[in-house]
């Protein structure tokens, strides 16, 4: 029988990429505070992730949670990330543990480590001939309050894994765009994540066995300053796209 997967933030862009690739592969329960505007697979729960009781109900019978819901803006103010990204993520983890969910994949961000991009290192680190690489073992260095909220989410996962044994993978997503990497944006090309690699990566998060992990979610770009070796090794991630293939588009 197919695994039951709860996808929070299902109405957003990352949700669209995941469902675009995996709609037929799982029993989906989709959750978002915004109702869907298009056809969707499975049942759709319209709820806010800070609503404790509703989130508990949404966890019933779920094997794996892909937790995407949150404020994705790098300029998001503190009150929003505190509520949506930190409080909401704690509510999701608490309910997941209580419901006996096996795994949670958390949508973290490149902005959790944004301050490694110092004036001395940029823009060279965005280029293919530069060998600077972050691999997920480094200390977080958030570049904004949104990044702070993602580090908090990773830390909540650490706690719920260590305390309750739930498997947790934090995917520090780069820059997801459909069809084409960002144009005239070296940084965005270096951390491009294509829609199909995004769907495949989260598929691996559902299927693979792990304890607590931090991986980078980017395609196999020639330009890169995030290593994808851990995602390959632990999750079996095999990306197919590379922003360099679009240089002449
Ligand atoms: N798109 C990207 O390139 C990246 C995205 N991420 C993360 O991935 C996740 C999804 O991002 P996107 O799909 O791009 O954003 P999005 O804004 O398109 O989707 C987020 C969805 O979450 C929902 N949501 C927000 N707060 C909620 C709450 N309190 N309760 C219920 N639903 C709520 C929104 O209604 C929206 O549909 C976010 O956590 C974001 O921080 C991280 C790095 C890069
Ligand atoms: O975390 C996120 O990062 C991506 C890429 O960041 P940017 O600094 O290149 O804009 C961003 O597009 C996305 O909205 C955000 O959630």
Q: What does the alpha-carbon distance between residue 247 and residue 240 come to, in Å, rounded to a whole number?
A: 16
Give the mutation target among 14, 35, 83 for probing the ligand 1 site: most ligand atoms within 8 A of CB: 14
Q: Which residues contact 104 (CB under 8 A, 6 or more apart)?
A: 64, 65, 67, 92, 93, 96, 157, 160, 166, 167, 168, 169
Contact between 9 and 70 (Cβ < 8 Å):
yes
26 is in an annotated binding site: no
Mean pLDDT over all residues of the chain? 97
Q: Which of 116, 126, 146, 195 is catalytic?
A: 146
Report yes or no for ipTM above 0.95: yes
User: Does residue 119 have a pLDDT over 90?
Assistant: yes
Q: What does the alpha-carbon distance between residue 5 and residue 233 come to, in Å, rounded to a whole number?
A: 23
Render pLDDT for 199-213 as a digit per residue (tens, 0 to 9). Answer: 999 999 999 999 999
Q: Average of pLDDT values for 14-31?
A: 97
User: Does residue 40 have a pLDDT over 80?
Assistant: yes
User: Does residue 1 have a pLDDT over 80?
Assistant: no
124 Cβ closer than 6 Å to some ligand 1 atom: no
Question: How far, in Å, is the centroid of ligand 2 from the Cα of 174?
Answer: 7
Contact between 45 and 29 (Cβ < 8 Å):
yes
Active site residue 26: no
Q: Average of pLDDT values for 206-234?
A: 98
pLDDT-based confidence at residue 234 (cuts at 50, 70, 90):
very high
DSSP designation for 66: E
pLDDT of residue 23: 96
* Closest ligand 1 atom to 193 CA: 3
pLDDT of residue 247: 81
pLDDT-based confidence at residue 44 (cuts at 50, 70, 90):
very high
* Closest ligand 1 atom to 49 CA: 30
Question: How far, in Å, is the centroid of ligand 1 from the Cα of 168?
Answer: 18
Share of the chain above pLDDT 70, in %: 99
Give the mutation target among 67, 68, 87, 193 for probing the ligand 1 site: most ligand atoms within 8 A of CB: 68
pLDDT-based confidence at residue 38 (cuts at 50, 70, 90):
confident
Q: Confirm whether pTM is higher than 0.90.
A: yes
Structure-token match 């949508």, residue found: 107
Q: Which residues of 10-35 are buried (b: 16+ CB within 10 A; e: fewer)?
A: bbbebbbbbbebbeeebbbbbbbbee
pLDDT-based confidence at residue 118 (cuts at 50, 70, 90):
very high
Question: How far, in Å, is the centroid of ligand 2 from the Cα of 75?
Answer: 10
pLDDT of residue 36: 84
Render pLDDT for 127-148 as a digit per residue (tens, 0 to 9). Answer: 999 999 999 999 999 999 999 9
The candidate with the shortest Cα–Cα distance to 54, out of 88, 28, 23, is 88
181 Cβ closer than 6 Å to some ligand 1 atom: no
- CB neighbours (10 Å) of residue 183? 10
pLDDT of residue 39: 86
* CA 23 vs CA 27, 90, 152: distances in Å: 9, 27, 30
Q: What does the alpha-carbon distance between residue 82 and residue 186 come to, in Å, rounded to a whole number?
A: 31
């Amino acid at each position: 029988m197919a695994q039951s997967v709860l996808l929070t933030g299902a109405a957003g862009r990352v949700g669209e990429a995941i469902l675009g690739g995996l709609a037929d592969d799982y029993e989906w329960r989709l959750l978002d505070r915004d109702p869907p505007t298009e056809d969707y697979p499975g049942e759709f729960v319209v709820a806010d992730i800070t609503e404790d009781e509703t989130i508990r109900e949404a966890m019933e019978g779920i094997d794996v949670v892909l937790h995407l819901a949150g404020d994705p803006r790098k300029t998001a103010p503190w009150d929003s990330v505190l509520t949506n990204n930190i409080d909401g993520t704690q509510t999701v983890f608490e309910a997941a543990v209580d419901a006996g969910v096996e795994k949670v994949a958390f949508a973290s961000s490149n902005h959790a480590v944004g301050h490694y991009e110092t004036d001395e290192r940029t823009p060279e680190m965005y280029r293919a001939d530069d060998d600077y690489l972050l691999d997920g073992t480094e200390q977080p260095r958030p570049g904004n309050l949104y990044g702070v909220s993602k580090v908090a989410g990773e830390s909540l996962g650490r706690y719920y894994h260590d305390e309750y044994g739930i498997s947790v993978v934090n995917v520090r997503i780069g820059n997801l765009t459909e069809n084409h990497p960002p144009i005239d944006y070296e940084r965005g090309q270096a951390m491009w994540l294509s829609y199909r690699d995004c769907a495949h990566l989260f598929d691996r998060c559902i299927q693979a066995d792990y304890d607590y992990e931090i991986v980078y979610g980017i395609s196999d770009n020639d330009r890169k300053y995030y290593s994808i070796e851990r995602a390959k090794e632990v999750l079996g991630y095999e990306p197919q796209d590379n922003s360099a293939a679009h240089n002449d588009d």
